[in-house]
A and B are shown apart, each in its own frame.
Chain A
């Protein structure tokens, strides 16, 4: 059974970096078919995709325009996990953050989600 286990702090101070981890079990972060996403959800912004990574002979990373200057996604094959780093956060970044999988790679649907991590940006 494929599972995504998220971890990371629930409180981040403004201007600091938000860092979350998603450990994958039952699949591989370096799968040649799946694509791995970070998506967030807030009352003010709704559901919003942030970025994705996938491996097709080499690693690829795509980021949403809204966060492109502040986001980095990492894939760690030794730990079979992906990580999200979002720097210079503001209260607008307060949201539930999810990691998710597109099993087909490029069909832009998400069949598996982590349980979500509520991250509050506050001093």
Chain B
């Protein structure tokens, strides 16, 4: 299974909304409703932000939302804040008891 494709970097200004994309295939993202998103600050473990395409764990700000269209999943962050600056990774079940991750997007808050 190939890794999911994410843009290497995205930037936005405080207060803006930005959308991070995650492109897969009809064998992973497009086939299963099992995309998750993780935020990772430098030197820290990843933190779950979205699961099952669009569900938000308790404790995660409602500024974070997930969606999917075809083979592409998206994470939207509204009302961008300085603390949102981090790396973001998508992940999808890919069948046959395996999961694939994206290469990550570095989000810069200007």
Contacts and interface: CB of A to CB of B under 8 A. Distances in A.
A65 B36 contact: no
Contact of A109 (B45, B52, B97, B98): B52
A33 to B, nearest CB: 15
A107 interface: yes
A65 B98 contact: yes
Interface residues of B, number: 23
A98 interface: yes
B91 interface: yes
B97 A62 contact: yes
A115 B102 CA distance: 21
B101 A48 contact: yes
B46 A47 contact: yes
Contacts, number: 51
A109 B101 contact: no
B51 A114 contact: no
Contacts of B45: 98, 113-116
Secondary structure call for the A interface: loop
Nearest to A108: B93
A85 B34 CA distance: 28
Interface string A31-63: 000000000000000111100000000000010
A26 to B, nearest CB: 15
Nearest to B94: A108
A47 B91 contact: yes
Given A49-B99, A115-B45, A110 B3 contact: no
Interface of A: 46-49, 62, 64-65, 98, 107-111, 113-116
